[in-house]
Structure 1
Amino acid sequence: MKLSDYKFDLPVELLADRPSEHRDEARLMVLNRKEQTIEHRMFKDLIEYFDEGDLMILNNTKVFPARLYGLKEKTGARIEVFLLRELNAEGRLWDVLVDPARKIRIGNKLFFGEDESLVAEVIDNTTSRGRTLRFLFDGSYEEFRTKLKELGETPLPKYIKRDVEPEDEERYQTIYAKHEGAVAAPTAGMHFSKHLMKRLEIKGIDFAELTLHVGLGTFNPVEVEDLSKHKMDSEQIEILKNTADVVNSAIDNKRKVCAVGTTVMRAIESSVSADRHLNPYSGWTNKFIFPPYEFSIANCMITNFHTPQSTLMMMTAAFAGYDLLMKAYKEAVEEGYQFYSYGDAMLIL
């Protein structure tokens, strides 16, 4: 398949810039691959599609406040710094993106905070917008991370043009987030409320957790018509043995195994055994899933509505079936579903 196969008209007003009032009251479109049907529900109705012994796999990564604003020495120019990746155990070296990049050269210093108590020096260029920064800070690692959290803000995607609000700190995060390291949220999981999780638990639905630290690469545009030539950025994943055991038990017992989000699907498909079971794994993945693709672990999936020609849309098409997904997206636009990070959800059975 080609990049142009994933083009569709998405009105700008359908790009959600705020979450639904309550997590589990986003809209839910339900796709049945076998029956080729589409239903319109609420996210809290999800419970009706699962039975005792079914399994949901969650991504427990936690978003950290990765966007900082600093002032360039001498000129005082305001520079946005987006923290991408910690490069050493002390936490002082980081790969970052800077904007505007043309003003930032090796040797420049940036000052953060009203009292300019945190200073960083540019020590390398990595890409056109990428830089490596060395933070100059005398305290402990814990004190340094606390300082970054004080100065940073929730890294809402760029398509959201409004200022970050206090509510975003909680809502641009799943309620089960544990392991800090993501610069973007695993958004399908943001629809789960404590109340819905408790109802699912009472019904006997099981949960397993893994960690995939979502990077900005998940939003990188595909710039080649031939999808086989697109290269994904690597993201760090951790699948523990107890998670693999729970997943494999559900597979053996022919239960529903539901991947909550494209990040979970990417992680589990990156560590498949020869007999189509899940292996424990700690490392990195740059797996790019697009049609045609045979999935090994999950037999259902929860995801948000994705933007045209995105790698996330391509993975969803591989799972749902291209024709059914394109029909669903056309209906979603007609019905006014909200797209992207704060948007509505889709359950694919």
Structure 2
Amino acid sequence: MASFHVPEELNATAPPERRGIRRDHVKMLVLNRRTGFVSHSSFYRLDEHMKEGDLLVLNASRTIPAVLHGEWRRGGVVLGEGTEVRLARRRDDCSWQALVVSTEFRPLPGDSFAFKPLLSAEVTAEVTETSSQPLVTIAFSLQGARLTDYLYAYAEPIRYEYISHPWELDYYQTVYASAPGSVEMPSAGRAFSWELLFKLKRQGVRIAYVQLHTGLSYIPEEGGHPDPRNNFEQYEVPKETADAIIRTKKEGGRVVAAGTTVVRALESAAGRDGEPAAGSGWTNLMIEASTPLRVVDGLISGFHEPEASHLEMLSAFIEPGLLYDAYQEAIAYGYLWHEFGDINVII
């Protein structure tokens, strides 16, 4: 896909609710994946573009606050007082891969970070592995539910430079999220309201869920977006979802994924013969223009930056030239980008 430029004023800096509209009233650009025909609407009218027998698949992963600030220590020396540590992906009950934001030092094994106190005791994390720089592995002094509770109490949501205000965590959640684990919101589903989901169900659209915990998508030291093949994310496709897909395909319906995370989970779990299957594990699946889609027929997505790997995935749904033309039209019509922005439906 040819490169394009997104004007700064099209970066959504605030949630729709703080811009005076409901979350499901963001703008929606509908793109026919076969012809490239574009139509303009609002997301609450999604039901006009789906039909009885279709299956909508949502990512139930819930966003956790993943930014901590602490004292960086090396031996008896303090390297930084309020160093930012961004959690990237969970490794086990107490360990995370993380990005230590610093222009002066590189973390070394044995370095430690002391964070805000919990019941008067210091919470610490020690660097245990550095071979995946700029990401390092850190082991917390807390584990399991205690660590999750601590993050919800003291950490902040990941916020990039186009977001000028520290919006509360609730703004970074989908209405149906249930399983904590994503460090960045699976944002394509943010525009759904319960009213819209109920309207779709009344229309005869089935709804199913997967779980994929999103990792850190932007790493400054790598020039921006890392290669998805280096970005392992944890996923689960339940049996009831796989069964619903099989039934939908058999009856001639379409499987529509709410977000690139859902596409990655479903295509990762599919059997070698392309048959929809239940499964769980870690995926580094790279989906691009040449990748055959074996499960998903349509996509609900936000608008992605030119260098984002998510944009490569969109090229698996539609010829890149048609996608480029649609994005140029979105820019001309003032669609908003990023997690608080507008929606693109490719179907």
User: Which residues in structure 2 correspond to 1:9-28 (within 5 Å)?
Assistant: 9-21=5-17, 22-28=22-28
In structure 1, the residue matched to 2:84 is 80
Does 2:282 match 1:280? no
CA distance in 2, matches of 1:94, 1:286: 17
Gap change, CA 1:235 and 1:27, over 3 Å in 2: same
CA distance in 2, matches of 1:112, 1:274: 46
**Contact persistence 1:266–1:287 (CA under 8 A):** yes
| Partner SS state of residue 94, structure 1 | strand
| Partner SS state of residue 305, structure 2 | coil
Does 2:186 match 1:181? no
CA distance in 1, matches of 2:35, 2:90: 47
In structure 1, the residue matched to 2:140 is 135
**Contact persistence 2:2–2:321 (CA under 8 A):** no
CA distance in 1, matches of 2:33, 2:127: 51
Does 2:336 match 1:338? yes
Task: State the shift of 1:95 in Å.
Answer: 2.1
In structure 2, the residue matched to 1:41 is 41
Structure 1 residues without counterparts, runs of 5 or longer: none
Deviations 1:242-290 (A, max 9, x none): 1100011000101121111111111111232355320111112111111
Please tell me the residue identity of whatever aligns with 2:164: R
Does 2:213 match 1:213? yes
Q: Aligned to 2:112, which of 104, 109, 115?
A: 109
Deviations 1:209-235 (A, max 9, x none): 11111111x4469x89xxxx9834111
Task: State the shift of 1:78 in Å.
Answer: 1.3
Task: State the shift of 1:27 in Å.
Answer: 0.5
CA distance in 1, matches of 2:83, 2:272: 49
Gap change, CA 1:130 and 1:200, over 3 Å in 2: same
CA distance in 1, matches of 2:255, 2:164: 37
In structure 1, the residue matched to 2:69 is 69
Deviations 1:49-84 (A, max 9, x none): 122221101111111111111123454521001122
**Contact persistence 1:6–1:314 (CA under 8 A):** no
CA distance in 2, matches of 1:93, 1:276: 34
Please tell me the residue identity of whatever aligns with 1:164: P
**Percent of residue pairs bearing the same amino acid type:** 33
| Partner SS state of residue 106, structure 1 | coil
In structure 2, the residue matched to 1:164 is 166
In structure 2, the residue matched to 1:289 is 287
User: Which residues in structure 2 correspond to 1:240-255 (within 5 Å)?
Assistant: 240-255=238-253
Aligned-residue Cα RMSD (Å) equals: 2.4
In structure 1, the residue matched to 2:153 is 150
TM-score (norm 1): 0.88
Q: Which shifted more, 32-41 or 186-195?
A: 32-41
Gap change, CA 1:44 and 1:101, over 3 Å in 2: same
TM-score (norm 2): 0.88
| Partner SS state of residue 147, structure 2 | helix
| Partner SS state of residue 149, structure 1 | helix
Gap change, CA 1:86 and 1:301, over 3 Å in 2: closer
| Partner SS state of residue 258, structure 1 | strand
CA distance in 1, matches of 2:35, 2:151: 50
CA distance in 2, matches of 1:108, 1:28: 47
CA distance in 1, matches of 2:34, 2:91: 46
Deviations 1:18-56 (A, max 9, x none): 222211011000111334311010000101112222110
CA distance in 1, matches of 2:33, 2:126: 53
Please tell me the residue identity of whatever aligns with 1:99: V
CA distance in 1, matches of 2:299, 2:146: 40
